[in-house]
Structure 1
């Protein structure tokens, strides 16, 4: 069995001992984030910091301008938490420690995209938008996510990839300062509150012979 450690660039960059430490855990593979959502992460062994706050979803490498030029939906670059080609720098250090590096790509989870382009988000039956959840049924959103997967997955030196969040993110998925965890909706309620009723999905229900208004 081959074990892997899931790693962020900020775990490695700026810490000369990180690669050897991870390899010393007995894992053969490092699954390294190349596109990731907003998060707050602990880095207890890093010599420069203990908490890293990624303020918004971003790619952790320089995106290809030729691919994204002129497009409404395009990946955001990271701030100071992963500047420049943070992925490439970390991947090189991990490979030098003898680890097989795979990319870790988060796709349909992007609160900043939902805030700037509300029409891309999942909409529940009551008209509430889930800003953290791009609706993958929408052609423009799906095209953006497919191209993001293509670009972020095949970073130089990557031996494989882990693709995360390929479908609709419903109500249970955590959002910033989430306050819904204590409300038990049950399996049926959770499922129903996760259905999307954006324009594209309403058309999809109609194509299946269903009336979206009656469903809502």
Structure 2
């Protein structure tokens, strides 16, 4: 019995002293894998190179910018002041109305028709609005659009646009034709276009007002 016990202990020691199993070697491998790799130094971002395809300004683009610099200002015929009237004479009345720049307006009504005169430098310029329409009963819109540019802090108009409603079908007096009438102020004030109703009527009227300004 005494001989058996030392042999059994020796056998156990031999078994415990063998090669490590893969599971026992794993901790050394894991430690090696967790060692952080050196972090590369950050590099500055590359500066973008301007594209050679970028458009460059042209004289045409400059001209477009100049045209785009035109602006509109407005006055109202609701602010007119009657200076003369003769109700017994086909309902005649004459009113003084505010304008812009060196201009003021004179609204004349008689026989169910309205006309406008521009007053500047002591002179009156009759626009004879009915001469470009059928001559039917007519009425001006209440708002006057002035076109021009801002110069030295003040607005300098060189055109205006009127809305002019004319009864062209006497069987339908409540359905007038609504024209826009650009007026040139560059030389002697005069009508420069007659814009019929339709798509983009306002844009077409402004384009005509900003144009050469030839009289009809």
User: What is the TM-score with the length of structure 1 in the denominator?
Assistant: 0.21
Higher fraction of strand: 2
Higher fraction of helix: 1
User: What is the TM-score with the length of structure 2 in the denominator?
Assistant: 0.21
**Rg bigger for which structure?**
2
* Higher RCO by CA contacts (8 Å cutoff, separation 6 or greater): 1
